[in-house]
């Protein structure tokens, strides 16, 4: 009984000691970085995301604009989405054409082969199509993320900082946009500007995706503006703009980053949903959503046409979500990390040595 | 209170007006509805252009045309509500009115299920923070977040519907399935219950054995072909429900409450036989509602007469128990209809449909057949929709409860010796619900959007179909009709959230 009590006491002090020791002599950003690096799932996801992005973009190369007059930087994959090689059927099982040549079992035929993900109905290489789709999805994700982050931050900051009528006006406007279901507004926009290419689609969608972020930033600003350091800055004669951008914004950056990552994972799903409905990226260009929509009925006969685009969407969205989770944990000052057994032992030894 | 609601409604109406204006102009300016006619070289093209220009009022600029549309909507107040005509001269109001119940049926069940399941799992993960169960559920939540609904839908169709139908053709539960389900059951119960290391293994063993045995028994008894509960299972489940609800709502130490709940369970067993005479093919919704009201009354009365103090809490317990047991009896009846339903020619032993909202070949007026048919068609779309919002609720409920559990008043409550149950259910859970209500309202708009995709995948004819037609055919009035209805529903959800918010949080005093 007595021993247990003592142990509990040591544990309590030990944990505090660990936490204090951990943050001593570090700046806020260093603490955040350390915590993030320690978040295993987030780090794995970050590496995976970077790997996927590099793989996708180098495979299909870069392509600006749509149609024949597009400016193209070639990638390492030998087919592009406009090539139409002959449909493969000799190496395929009976009655199936355009089967995938990817073989991960060591032995005969190991490797990527000519069409690792198979071919579509008219012979286009499905690997090239999937890579192109993934490229589109990643691009739209970043475009929506950046635009929404800028608008949301500015609207939220202004309305939280100035309060009063500016606040009510901006917030009612935000409410107004929130009430429109995202798919509806996305479809109205996507159907009209989908043919302009994925970049413009992203820009337009970004113009309507900032609402949640604006609310969060506003809440953060409302509480931060009452703090002493803001008063100090104001007494020192700082302008409103300086206070907003130099004093308050750095303190709210955690909330913004976390929310933007989640927004980006939502954006990738939104884009694929719109393309699935036929309101997003239009033929002859492809997106992961349009590929799934086109080949969902082939699920029983040629399942790979359905699996690959889906797996890539999920991989990207899952990585982003985990990175967001890691960032949230890293930025949260109240976060108490789980303390491993080894650290507990160490703390106990320290405690004994100092006692 | 009245002042608050009117003020709130007027703000919401202004918002609705603004967003309608926005959508109207966005849609009108972004495309020309008669573009293909203008390019056409047909001899009557010019005439048609004139006709359409007149019909669709294309000579009026969109911002002004909007007010024409608005005039029809505002006609609501003088009794001739008019959402305009579609391009094929049908009444938008009537079309939307016909499509709305379908979508609501789809959205409502999915939302309620997602809320209940999500909050339950969220609470368990919060109470077992950093346990294996927590990590696994976090991973699952993130995975579900990242799944596109149309992709899940295809998988559900393939594995759940077609797989189960194939299983029914040869209903033998194979050994790998038994082992798999046993493993899953063991992991689940060990995760949920938690505890010391040795206890976890014990719980894993019991969980695995019981779930494996159950699935083997059900397979051996041919239960999947002819399912039923029967009076004994109704009694057993009733007693289980009575214990569970009492534990959650009152705590088992409250003996009187427990006896009252068990009394309700016993009554459920007693009425099982006489009630069967009422559950005829001619059963209908009115009868169902009447029986439900009767159940609430009787179980409330039992709660009332069993106790002298703390009556409202006991009545709450008995009413919940009563309604759940009545639900079990209802499900039992549906289950006993299952086999005759599945073996009709229209269904042909493939009872899980992958498309459509009802089986048009089913020629019957039997209430139970029709209900079962409706439920089976709802099954997959509801699952798909639920999966989208379920994950969100897990995360929000977990975060919100963790936040509350770190508050000082929880420490105070612990310090004065309250039981963990009282602490979680009475002090923590209620406060954790407050931020969740806001999220529920916002989620609603998301689910409506999800419904548009789900309807497409499962071939339902609801708001989503109208919406697709409207966008594809550049039908402005139809689009506005769809938007007007979904927008109003989202706003009503918002209003409901505000009201629940003020009911849950006494610090918010509305109307003062």
Tens digits of per-residue pLDDT, A53-63? Answer: 999 888 877 76
Of A180, A299, A314, the CB nearest to B23: A180
Residue B384 pLDDT more than 50? yes
Residues A8 and A151 in one domain: no
pLDDT class of A66 with cuts at 50, 70, 90: low
> Does residue A316 share a domain with residue A294?
yes
A160 within some domain:
yes
Is the CB of residue A204 less than 8 Å from the CB of residue A140?
no
Rg of chain B over Cα atoms, rounded to whole angstroms, equals 27
In chain A, the DSSP E strands lie at: 62-64, 71-73
pLDDT, tens digit, 9 for 90 and up, residues B215-263: 888 888 888 888 888 888 899 999 999 999 999 888 888 888 899 999 9
CB-CB contact of B262 with B303 (8 Å): no
Phi, psi of A154 (to 5 degrees): -65, -50
Is residue A112 one of the residues assigned to a domain?
A: no
Q: What is the mean pLDDT of chain A?
A: 81
CATH of the domain at A49: 1.10.3720.10
Residues A61 and A151 in one domain: yes
| The pLDDT of residue B301 | 93
A32 lies in the same domain as A48:
no
Cβ–Cβ gap A172/B15 under 8 Å? yes
- Cβ B216 vs Cβ B178: under 8 Å: yes
Q: Is B163 on the interface with A (CB under 8 A)?
A: no
* Shortest CA distance from A185: residue in chain B: B23
A324 & A346 share domain = no
On whether residue A199 sits in a domain, the answer given is yes
Residues A213 and A319 in one domain: yes
Q: Do B471 and A299 touch (CB under 8 A)?
A: no
What is the count of structural domains for chain A?
2
Residue B512 reports pLDDT greater than 50: no
- Asked whether residue A118 is assigned to any structural domain, the reply reads no
For A197, the token pair is 């290419």
Same domain (yes/no): A10, A68 = no
The nearest alpha carbon in chain B to A307 belongs to: B151
In this structure, are A25 and A68 located in the same domain?
no
Is any Cβ of chain B less than 8 angstroms from the Cβ of A191? Answer: yes
Same domain, A343 and A269: no
Helix (H) or strand (E) holding A251, with range, is helix A249-277
pLDDT value, residue B346: 82
Predicted local distance difference test score (pLDDT) of residue B193: 79
Percent pLDDT > 90 in chain B is 20
Mean pLDDT estimate for chain B: 85
The interface pTM score, or ipTM, of the predicted complex is: 0.81
A325 to chain B, any CB pair closer than 8 A? The answer is yes
Whole-number Å distance between alpha carbons of B260 and B242 = 9
Interface test with A, best of B138, B148, B166, B490 (most A CBs within 10 A): B148
Given this model, what pLDDT does residue A339 score?
59
Evaluate whether residue A140 is within a structural domain. Answer: yes
Q: Is A327 contained in some domain?
A: yes
Q: Which domain holds residue A8?
A: 2-38+339-354
**Chain segment B333-351, per-residue pLDDT in tens:** 999 888 888 888 888 778 8
Q: Percentage of chain B with pLDDT > 70? A: 98
What is the crossing angle of helices A126-162 and A304-331, to 10°?
30
Q: Which of A49, A183, A219 to mutate to test the interface with B (most CBs of B within 10 A)?
A: A183
Q: Give residue B410's pLDDT band: very low, low, confident or very high (50, 70, 90).
A: very high
Reported confidence tier of residue A235, pLDDT bands at 50, 70, 90: very high
Query: Has residue A1 got a pLDDT over 50?
Result: no
User: Mean per-residue pLDDT for B425-432?
Assistant: 88
The answer on pLDDT for A114 being more than 60 is yes
A159, A11: one domain: no
Query: Cα separation of B129 and A88, whole Å?
Result: 53
State percent of chain A over pLDDT 70: 85
Place B511 in a pLDDT band, splitting at 50, 70 and 90: very low
Q: Within 13 Å, how many C-alpha atoms sit on residue B136's CB side? A: 12
**A242 and A280: one domain?**
yes
Same domain, A131 and A188: yes
Domain assignment present for residue A225? The answer is yes
The reported pLDDT for the residue numbered A15 is: 53
Whether residue A239 has pLDDT greater than 80: yes
The reply to whether A90 falls in a domain is no
């Amino acid at each position: 009984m007595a021993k247990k009590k003592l142990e509990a006491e040591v544990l309590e002090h030990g944990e505090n000691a660990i936490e204090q020791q951990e943050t001593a002599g570090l700046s806020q950003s260093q603490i955040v970085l350390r915590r993030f690096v320690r978040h295993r799932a987030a780090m794995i996801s970050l590496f995976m995301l970077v790997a996927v992005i590099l793989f996708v973009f180098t495979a299909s190369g870069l392509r600006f604009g749509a149609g024949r007059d597009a400016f193209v930087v070639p990638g390492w994959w030998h087919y592009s989405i406009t090539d139409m090689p002959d449909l493969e059927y000799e190496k395929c099982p009976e009655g199936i054409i355009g089967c995938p040549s990817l073989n991960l079992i060591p032995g005969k035929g190991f490797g990527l082969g000519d069409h690792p993900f198979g071919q579509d109905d008219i012979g286009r290489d499905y690997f090239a199509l999937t890579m192109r789709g993934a490229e589109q999805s990643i691009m739209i994700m970043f475009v929506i993320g950046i635009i929404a982050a800028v608008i949301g931050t500015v609207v939220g900051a202004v309305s939280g900082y100035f309060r009063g009528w500016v606040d009510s006006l901006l917030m009612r406007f935000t409410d107004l946009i929130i009430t429109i279901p995202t798919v509806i507004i996305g479809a109205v926009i996507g159907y009209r500007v989908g043919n302009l290419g994925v970049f413009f689609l992203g820009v337009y969608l970004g113009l309507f995706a900032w609402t949640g972020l604006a609310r969060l930033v506003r809440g953060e600003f409302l509480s931060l503006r009452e703090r002493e350091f803001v008063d100090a800055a104001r007494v020192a004669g700082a302008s409103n703009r300086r206070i907003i951008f130099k004093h308050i914004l750095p303190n709210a950056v955690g909330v913004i980053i976390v929310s933007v990552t989640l927004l980006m994972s939502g954006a990738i799903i939104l884009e694929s949903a719109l393309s699935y409905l036929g309101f997003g990226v239009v033929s002859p260009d492809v997106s992961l959503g349009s590929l799934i929509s086109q080949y969902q009925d082939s699920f029983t006969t040629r399942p790979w046409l359905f699996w690959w685009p889906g797996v890539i969407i999920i991989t990207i969205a899952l990585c982003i979500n985990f990175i967001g989770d890691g960032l949230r944990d890293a930025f949260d000052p109240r976060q108490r990390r789980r303390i491993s057994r080894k650290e507990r032992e160490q703390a106990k030894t320290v405690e004994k040595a100092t006692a | 209170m009245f002042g608050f609601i009117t003020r709130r409604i007027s703000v919401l109406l202004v918002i609705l007006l603004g967003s309608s204006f926005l959508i109207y102009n966005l849609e009108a300016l972004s495309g020309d509805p008669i573009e293909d006619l203008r390019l056409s070289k047909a001899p009557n093209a010019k005439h048609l252009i004139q006709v359409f220009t007149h019909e669709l009022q294309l000579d009026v600029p969109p911002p002004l045309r909007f007010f024409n549309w608005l005039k029809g909507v505002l006609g609501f107040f003088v009794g001739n509500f008019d959402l305009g005509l579609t391009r094929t001269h049908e009444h938008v109001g009537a079309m939307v009115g016909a499509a709305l119940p379908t979508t609501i049926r789809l959205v409502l069940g999915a939302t309620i299920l997602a809320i209940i399941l999500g909050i339950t799992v969220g609470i368990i993960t919060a109470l077992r923070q950093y346990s294996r169960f927590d990590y696994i559920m976090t991973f699952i939540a993130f995975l579900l977040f990242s799944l596109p609904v149309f992709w899940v839908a295809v998988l559900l169709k393939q594995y759940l519907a077609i797989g189960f139908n194939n299983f029914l053709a040869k209903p033998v539960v194979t050994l790998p399935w038994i082992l798999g389900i046993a493993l899953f059951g063991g992991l689940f119960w060990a995760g949920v219950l938690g505890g010391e290391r040795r206890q976890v293994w014990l719980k894993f063993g019991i969980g695995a054995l019981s779930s494996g045995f159950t699935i083997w028994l059900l397979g051996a008894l041919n239960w999947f072909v002819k399912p039923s509960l029967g009076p004994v299972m109704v009694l057993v489940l009733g007693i289980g429900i009575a214990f569970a609800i009492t534990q959650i709502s009152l705590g088992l130490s409250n003996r009187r409450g427990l006896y009252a709940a068990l009394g309700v369970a016993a009554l459920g067993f007693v009425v099982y036989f006489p009630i069967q005479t009422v559950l005829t093919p001619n059963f209908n919704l009115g009868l169902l509602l009447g029986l439900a009201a009767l159940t609430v009354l009787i179980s409330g009365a039992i709660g009332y007469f069993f106790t002298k103090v703390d009556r409202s809490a006991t009545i709450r317990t008995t009413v919940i128990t009563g309604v759940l047991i009545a639900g079990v009896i209802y499900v039992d009846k549906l289950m006993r209809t299952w086999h005759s339903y599945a073996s009709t020619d229209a269904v042909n032993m493939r009872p899980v449909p992958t498309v459509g909202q009802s089986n048009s070949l089913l020629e019957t007026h039997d209430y139970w057949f029709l209900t079962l048919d409706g439920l089976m068609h709802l099954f997959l779309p509801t699952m798909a929709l639920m999966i989208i919002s379920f994950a969100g609720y897990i995360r929000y409920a977990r975060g919100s409860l963790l936040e509350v559990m770190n508050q000082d008043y929880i420490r105070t409550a612990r310090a004065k010796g309250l039981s963990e149950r009282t602490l979680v259910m009475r002090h923590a859970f209620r406060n954790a619900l407050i931020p969740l209500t806001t999220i529920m309202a916002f989620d609603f708009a998301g689910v409506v959007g999800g419904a548009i995709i789900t309807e497409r995948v499962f071939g339902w004819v609801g708001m989503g179909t109208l919406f697709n037609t409207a966008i594809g055919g550049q039908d402005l009035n139809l689009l506005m009709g769809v938007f007007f209805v979904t927008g109003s529903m989202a706003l009503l959800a918002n209003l409901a959230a505000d009201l629940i918010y003020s009911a849950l949080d006494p610090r918010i005093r509305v109307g003062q």
